[in-house]
Amino acid sequence: MDVRVGVRVEGVVQGVGFRPFVHGLATGLGLSGLVGNDAGGVFIEVEGDPDEVGRFLDGLRTRPPRLALVERVTTRELDAVGRGGFAIVGSDASGERRALVSWDAATCDDCLREMRDPGDRRHRYPFINCTGCGPRFTIVTGVPYDRPNTTMAGFAMCGPCAAEYGDPADRRFHAQPVCCPACGPSLALRPHADVPLEAARTMLAQGGVLAVKGLGGYHLAARAADAGAVAALRSRKHREAKPFAVMVPDLEAARGLCELSEAEEDLLTGPRRPIVLARRRPDAALADAVAPGNGSVGLMLPYTPLHHLLVTEPTVLTSGNVSDEPIAYRDEDAVERLAGIADAFLLHDRPIHTRTDDSVMRTFRGRPLPVRRSRGYAPEPIPVPVGRPVLACGAELKNTFCLTRDGRAFVSHHIGDLENHETLRAFEEGIGHFRRLFGIAPELIAYDPHPEYLSTKYALDQDLPGIAVQHHHAHIASCLADNGATGPVIGVAFDGTGYGTDGTLWGGEFLVADLRGFERAGHLEPVPLPGGAAAIREPWRMAAAYGVPDDLPVARRPGWAAVTAMARHGVNAPPTSSMGRLFDAVAAVLGVRDRVDYEGQAAIELEQCADPAETGVYPATLSGTAGFTVPGGEIVDAVVSDLRAGVPVPVIAARFHNGVAALVVDAASRIRSETGIGTVALSGGVFQNMLLLDRAVSGLTDAGFDVLTHHRVPPNDGGISLGQAAVATARG
Ligand SMILES: [Zn+2]
Ligand SMILES: [Zn+2]
């Protein structure tokens, strides 16, 4: 006997080809009924054989369209009304808006095929897209998500485009950015060229620096094999050493530059198209200035039609900014700010509404490990426990914010370092945009208790009940939420610095934590941070702080005696238990790096110089009972002693990493013996160190622990807002 079932599908299900998909699925199974959009997502009624209806429901969950995210499928029984056809019905726009905007997706294979087909009306059209690909989050200006509320509003569809848009059987049915050469955006080159794309390609081939308007902002491009072009880009951009990302035309070209694992290839070729950090081949045809002193390279594949047309060989594609400013995304601003860097500008007239940087990912044991979660990921929600709606303001550096509602956390795109007016404005505007887009009126505001963070000051200015979430607790909560866990866990939070509950700078923390609260079970023994922020830029100061002997090479630099005295007397030298600073001290002692041009540089170079075959360990003894401390000084002493004995630096660097991993296992074992907790969460920026992460996870697993690491948000401060939101929701 036939049954009729009402189905509701929630998630990212509008503007992604969901209704044509449902139509095809139902008719393929011989079912009748209807499908439509409403404020809550997609509603469906299907009628037919019960087994086929079961297959239909299964297909909804397991085979949705490329950009869809099916979060919830709920069903109810209806009275059968008799068989008929299957209809796509008009949208019901009443009620509350809960349907979600998709992330921006790389050009799909169908669109690429059309773009390369000389007979197609979109042949070589740089803005081709469909329901399965193209701009979404970066062009949305408001709700509901339809064309007037995108930056395509100014482009009236031509007849053929309107016909595709209105045809339920067409793969551009209700694709909001649909367009063609007759009705859509177009390219322009400054200085003017009649054929902008060809002129831009020629310019790149001849060694020029080109500013290119992308999906979420401007890039600066140069031929990656051209030492002169890359060096010019670096000097004009005032960027000394921080690596540039490279866009390659296809996977073959990527394999020519890097040794790629299967997981890395999947990430590179998937629809999200992040920059993937991978191991560089020794013979890679890249100018040295692309990633100086760095064994890995950030690669990405083209993700817009324009990239496919423009990039025919490995090309540096770095953010369009000077130094550490936010990337430019508005045309006039870009032309003004990048004038001293770019020889020419490849522009187009589709506005970017939300500045969105490229995402950066690594892989760890076959799974993604985010370094920066932005374009291609935001604003996809991450599940959190259901609670009152929260606005979490994030950290100061690598800021993201997060809004929650109905068990979903919307972590923002990468905002950046909140240290200038423009990023602060992007932060405030972004919060307003997300509130409107997802219809969220926060009832609680979560923030870092650091009194100097601009995000904290913003939070305290809002007229909402506030919840302060300690920085390292937020890291561990972020790792819990990332894994859909609630704790309790043994939380190991290693980073540069975060504000502790005692007002000192923490950063080498062993916590017992769940989403609601934490106890500081142990920590790295504090040392002075001589000169405060100066010690972060100059790792040699940390060698002085750890009191290494004056006859080592690191002590020969000017200022050593003064900084040593500063550390000894605690003048302008606040105490810190930072693990990041211990890495700095060791990098400086070993002569790997004593000044940094970008955050984490010393630790990155220390990791890269370590000999992975070395298994020796520098032991550290945990001391104290209630609240143990880990003597970082013992490890530094072991480093110094091996250095004096003539042990090669790569061996010492490896023993140091192994030692830190071993102390993670020791500390976790001690906490387990006291609490019975057998799960460890690893978070904080230091766990972007893959050698440390690998050794720590192996050691913990061998010791019988379950280990949680990051997969959806970064272990660095980009993940803090999710952790704050999870804690505030739990405390609600
Ligand atoms: Zn497409
Ligand atoms: Zn058209």
Confidence of residue 98 (pLDDT cuts 50, 70, 90): low
CA of 164 to the centre of ligand 2 (A): 9
The pLDDT score that the predictor gives to residue 321 is: 86
Task: Answer with the one of 59, 88, 117 that is the final residue of a domain.
Answer: 88
The verdict on 28 and 63 lying in the same domain is: yes
Q: Please name the residue that has the structure tokens 């998909």.
A: 21
Beta carbons of 212 and 219 less than 8 angstroms apart: yes
* Angle, helix 690-702 to helix 649-675, in steps of 10 degrees: 40
Q: Is 279 a domain residue? A: yes
Beta carbons of 666 and 581 less than 8 angstroms apart: no
Q: Nearest ligand, CA of residue 178?
A: 2
In what helix (H) or strand (E) does residue 405 lie, and over which residues does it extend?
strand 402-405
Q: Nearest ligand, CA of residue 129?
A: 1
Check whether 262 has a pLDDT greater than 80.
Answer: yes
Domain interval for residue 77? 3-88
Find the CATH number of the domain harbouring 337. Answer: 3.90.870.40
- Residue 506, both tokens: 């923490």
Q: Is 464 a domain residue? A: yes
CA of 297 to the centre of ligand 1 (A): 29
Q: Is 340 a domain residue? A: yes
Q: Nearest ligand, CA of residue 161?
A: 2
How many residues can be counted in the chain?
Answer: 732
In what helix (H) or strand (E) does residue 87 lie, and over which residues does it extend?
strand 86-88
* DSSP code string of 134-175: B--TTTB-SSS-SGGGBTTTTSPPPHHHHHHHH-TTSTTTT-
**Alpha-carbon distance 447 to 459, whole Å?**
6
CA of 158 to the centre of ligand 2 (A): 4
The verdict on 514 and 441 lying in the same domain is: no
Torsion of CA 529, 600, 658, 265, to 10 degrees: 160
Q: In the predicted model, what is the mean pLDDT of residues 176-184?
A: 97
Confidence of residue 673 (pLDDT cuts 50, 70, 90): very high
Q: In the predicted model, what is the mean pLDDT of residues 353-371?
A: 97
Exposure of 610 in the CB half-sphere (CA atoms within 13 A): 29
pLDDT digits over 545-568, tens only?
999 999 999 999 899 999 999 999
Find the CATH number of the domain harbouring 410. Answer: 3.30.420.360
CA of 104 to the centre of ligand 2 (A): 21
Find the CATH number of the domain harbouring 30. Answer: 3.30.70.100
Q: What is the phi/psi pair of residue 275, to 5°? A: -75, 130
Distance of CA 680 to the CA centre of its chain: 23
pLDDT digits over 207-248, tens only?
999 999 999 999 999 999 999 999 999 999 988 889 999 999
Q: Nearest ligand, CA of residue 66?
A: 1
CA of 332 to the centre of ligand 2 (A): 27
CA of 377 to the centre of ligand 2 (A): 28
Amino acid identity, position 30: G
Q: What is the mean pLDDT of the chain?
A: 94
| H helices present in 151-287, as ranges | 159-166, 196-205, 227-237, 251-257, 262-269
The verdict on 587 and 603 lying in the same domain is: yes
The pLDDT score that the predictor gives to residue 453 is: 93
Q: In the predicted model, what is the mean pLDDT of residues 299-325?
A: 94
The verdict on 594 and 521 lying in the same domain is: yes
The verdict on 417 and 556 lying in the same domain is: no
CA of 185 to the centre of ligand 2 (A): 10
Q: Is 387 a domain residue? A: yes
Q: Nearest ligand, CA of residue 172?
A: 1
Give the single-character DSSP code of 484: T
Which residue, 546, 471, 549, is CA-closest to 504? 471
CA of 111 to the centre of ligand 1 (A): 4
Beta bridge partners, 492, equal 510, 682
Pairing of strands 367-372, 218-223: unpaired
pLDDT digits over 474-518, tens only?
999 999 999 999 999 999 999 999 999 999 999 999 999 999 999
**Alpha-carbon distance 376 to 267, whole Å?**
11
Task: Answer with the one of 88, 118, 141 that is the final residue of a domain.
Answer: 88
Hey, is 82 helix, strand or coil? coil
The verdict on 475 and 342 lying in the same domain is: no
Cα angle at 725 between 721 and 730, to 5 degrees?
A: 150
CA of 23 to the centre of ligand 2 (A): 25
CA of 129 to the centre of ligand 2 (A): 11
Q: In the predicted model, what is the mean pLDDT of residues 269-278?
A: 97
Cα angle at 19 between 17 and 21, to 5 degrees?
A: 70
| H helices present in 381-442, as ranges | 421-438
CA of 706 to the centre of ligand 2 (A): 55
CA of 179 to the centre of ligand 1 (A): 12
Q: Nearest ligand, CA of residue 135?
A: 1
CA of 86 to the centre of ligand 2 (A): 29
Q: Nearest ligand, CA of residue 152?
A: 2
CA of 176 to the centre of ligand 2 (A): 12
The verdict on 701 and 723 lying in the same domain is: no
Q: Is 375 a domain residue? A: no
Total of domains in the chain: 4
Find the CATH number of the domain harbouring 578. Answer: 3.30.420.40
State ipTM.
0.98
The verdict on 542 and 673 lying in the same domain is: yes
Q: In the predicted model, what is the mean pLDDT of residues 184-200?
A: 97
**Alpha-carbon distance 394 to 256, whole Å?**
39
The verdict on 634 and 668 lying in the same domain is: yes
Give the single-character DSSP code of 533: H
Q: Nearest ligand, CA of residue 113?
A: 1
Q: Name, in order, each residue with C-beta under 8 angstroms of 190's C-beta and a sequence gap of 6 or more.
A: 335, 344, 345, 347
The verdict on 222 and 341 lying in the same domain is: yes
CA of 113 to the centre of ligand 1 (A): 9
The verdict on 339 and 203 lying in the same domain is: yes
Peptide linkage before 351 cis (omega within 30 of 0): no
- Residue 482, both tokens: 């990332």
Cα angle at 392 between 389 and 393, to 5 degrees?
A: 145
CA of 596 to the centre of ligand 1 (A): 43
Class of residue 119 by CB neighbours under 10 A (exposed 0-12, middle 13-18, buried 19+): exposed
Q: In the predicted model, what is the mean pLDDT of residues 191-200?
A: 96
Q: Please name the residue that has the structure tokens 């990337």.
A: 327
Q: In the predicted model, what is the mean pLDDT of residues 664-689?
A: 97
Cα angle at 539 between 537 and 542, to 5 degrees?
A: 120
**Alpha-carbon distance 535 to 542, whole Å?**
6
CA of 67 to the centre of ligand 1 (A): 11
pLDDT digits over 7-25, tens only?
999 888 877 888 889 998 9
CA of 629 to the centre of ligand 1 (A): 56
Confidence of residue 95 (pLDDT cuts 50, 70, 90): very low
- Catalytic residue numbers, as ranges: 19, 37
Beta carbons of 537 and 531 less than 8 angstroms apart: no
**Alpha-carbon distance 489 to 672, whole Å?**
10
Class of residue 98 by CB neighbours under 10 A (exposed 0-12, middle 13-18, buried 19+): middle
Task: Answer with the one of 88, 121, 147 that is the final residue of a domain.
Answer: 88
- Residue 287, both tokens: 């100018």
Q: Is 294 a domain residue? A: yes
Q: Is 343 a domain residue? A: yes
Q: Nearest ligand, CA of residue 158?
A: 2
Which residue, 534, 455, 527, 488, is CA-closest to 725? 455
Q: Is 587 a domain residue? A: yes
The pLDDT score that the predictor gives to residue 92 is: 62
Q: Nearest ligand, CA of residue 133?
A: 1
Q: Residues whose CB is under 5 A from ligand 2 (ion)?
A: 158, 161, 180, 182-183
Hey, is 239 helix, strand or coil? coil
The verdict on 539 and 470 lying in the same domain is: no
The pLDDT score that the predictor gives to residue 93 is: 55
